[in-house]
Amino acid sequence: MSKYQHIKQAAYEANMQLPKLGLVLFTFGNVSAADRDLGVFAIKPSGVPYEDLSPEKMVIVDFEGVTIEGDLRPSSDTQTHAVLYKHWPNIGGIVHTHSTYGTAWAQSQRCIPIFGTTHADHLTADIPCAPPMDDKMIEGDYEYQTGFQIMDHFAAEGLDYNEVEMVLVGNHAPFTWGKTPHKAVYNSAVLEAVAQMAYLTEQINDQAPRLKDSLIKKHFERKHGPNSYYGQ
């Protein structure tokens, strides 16, 4: 048995959550699961339908993006995953989808404004939208550069990837992450729900104000602060 079996299993299970949660059509998404001690991650093979997946088909890749184990070609977004794992040491799982509402906001090249407590329960900032890459980056190693585009945007906006576990890549689609692949998938579903609510909020009231700071702070601390009292 592969010494990577545990992350293959974790990546498999997390990938299978995507169609169940309505976040992917066909193969338009992928999840990876990292083992930081081993310095590798398991990721979905490219273009394989979810119903044909198995833990054995997951591909093992290191943080430089080099395939270590596996018969299949890894997801075309693998270099983006590798870059984020390499530079953001607390991440254990990454998800990429083309979920409907999240992708629509990304195509609109707008951040998702924080309009309510559903959003604030998860992050205190607008969901950031990294601008499309410049042409030089696109012509280079595109997926590799996508990782830097995300990181550069977080640096420029003063965002902490430990607090803001999601991003829209302009003209493209969402990426989310977390301490575990399960948490990263959870964040993808939250992003999609918040994206739909924010869209509807603006349709219902085009002057809808952002959530006020005191409520942002309160709701986030309910779940995440030192005195958090949500969950068990």
The binding site for a copy of itself (CB under 8 A) comprises 25-26, 28, 45-48, 72-73, 76, 98, 100-101, 103-110, 115-118, 132-133, 135, 138-139, 142, 171-173, 186, 189-190, 193, 196-205, 208-209, 211-212, 214-215, 218, 222, 229-232
Nearest to 210 by CA among 131, 129, 112, 123: 112
Tokens 């629509």 — which residue?
Answer: 104
Active-site annotation holds for 12 = no
Q: Residue 84 is encoded by which pair of tokens?
A: 């984020």
Q: Which is nearer to a copy of itself, 37 or 51 (CB)?
A: 51
Active-site annotation holds for 121 = yes
The distance of closest approach from Cβ of residue 162 to a copy of itself in the complex, given in angstroms and rounded to an integer, is: 20
The distance of closest approach from Cβ of residue 122 to a copy of itself in the complex, given in angstroms and rounded to an integer, is: 11
Q: Which is nearer to a copy of itself, 39 or 140 (CB)?
A: 140
CB contact set of 7 (below 8 Å; sequence gap of 6+): 33, 34, 35, 40, 41, 42, 58, 60
φ, ψ at 87 (rounded to 5°):
-100, -20
Q: Which is nearer to a copy of itself, 62 or 202 (CB)?
A: 202
The distance of closest approach from Cβ of residue 89 to a copy of itself in the complex, given in angstroms and rounded to an integer, is: 27
Q: 10 Å Cβ neighbour count for 116?
A: 18
CB contact set of 58 (below 8 Å; sequence gap of 6+): 7, 8, 11, 12, 42, 43, 44, 45, 70
Nearest to 128 by CA among 184, 188, 175, 187: 175
Active-site residue (options: 35, 50, 62, 121): 121
The distance of closest approach from Cβ of residue 153 to a copy of itself in the complex, given in angstroms and rounded to an integer, is: 16
Q: Which is nearer to a copy of itself, 37 or 135 (CB)?
A: 135
Q: Which is nearer to a copy of itself, 56 or 160 (CB)?
A: 56
Q: 10 Å Cβ neighbour count for 220?
A: 20
Q: Which amino acid is at 82?
A: A
Find out whether 15 and 44 touch, Cβ atoms under 8 Å.
yes
Separation between Cα atoms, residue 54 and residue 11, nearest integer Å: 10
φ, ψ at 218 (rounded to 5°):
-60, -50
The distance of closest approach from Cβ of residue 109 to a copy of itself in the complex, given in angstroms and rounded to an integer, is: 7
Q: State the catalytic residues.
A: 121, 230
